[in-house]
Amino acid sequence: MHPAPSLIFFSTLSGLGLGLLAFLGLGLAPTEGLTGLIFFALAFALTGAGLLSSTLHLGHPERALKAFTQWRTSWLSREAWVAVAALSVMGLYALLAMPGLRLAPLGWLGALLCLGTVGSTAMIYAQLKTVPRWHQPTTPLLFLGYAITAGALLSGRVSWTVVLLIVMAALQVLAWRRGDAALAKSGTTTGTATGLGGRGRVRLFEPPHTGGNYLTREMVFRVGRKHRVTLRTLVLILAFALPALLLLLPFSHWLAAIAVVSHVVGMLAQRWLFFAEAEHAVGLYYGQSAA
User: What values do phi and psi take at 105, rounded to 5?
Assistant: -60, -35
For the chain, percent of residues with pLDDT exceeding 70: 81
* Residue 291 located in a structural domain: no
Give domain status of residue 34, yes or no. Answer: yes
In a domain, 214, yes or no: yes
pLDDT per residue over 136-191, tens digit each?
999 999 999 999 999 999 999 999 999 999 999 999 999 999 988 887 787 776 66
Helix-helix angle 75-97:33-54, to 10 degrees: 160
| Terminal CA-CA length for the chain | 17
Q: What is the pLDDT of residues 32-84, one digit of tens each?
A: 999 999 999 999 999 999 988 877 766 666 666 777 788 888 898 999 999 99
Q: What is the pLDDT of residue 36?
A: 94
Instruction: Collect contacts of 176-183 with beta carbons under 8 A, ≥24 apart.
Output: 176/232, 178/136, 178/138, 179/132, 179/133, 179/136, 179/138, 179/277, 180/133, 182/132, 182/133, 182/135, 182/136, 183/132, 183/133, 183/279, 183/281, 183/290
For residue 197, what pLDDT band results from cuts at 50, 70 and 90? low
- The residue with greater pLDDT, 4 or 82, is 82
Q: How far apart are CA 242 and CA 273, in angstroms?
A: 19
Q: DSSP assignment of 201-218, as one string?
A: ----SS-S-SS--HHHHH
Is residue 226 scored above 80 in pLDDT? no
In this prediction, residue 42 carries a pLDDT of: 96
CB 271 within 8 A of CB 11: yes
How much is the pTM?
0.88
Mapped onto helix, strand or coil, the DSSP state of residue 191 is helix
Average pLDDT over residues 231-250: 96
Task: For residue 39, tell me if it sits in a domain.
Answer: yes
DSSP letters, 223-279, are --HHHHHHHHHHHIIIIIIHHHHHHHSSP-HHHHHHHHHHHHHHHHHHHHHHHHT--
18 falls within a domain:
yes
CATH number at residue 228: 1.20.1630.10
Total tally of structural domains belonging to the chain = 1
Neighbours of 185 (CB within 10 A): 11
Give me the domain span that covers residue 218.
5-286
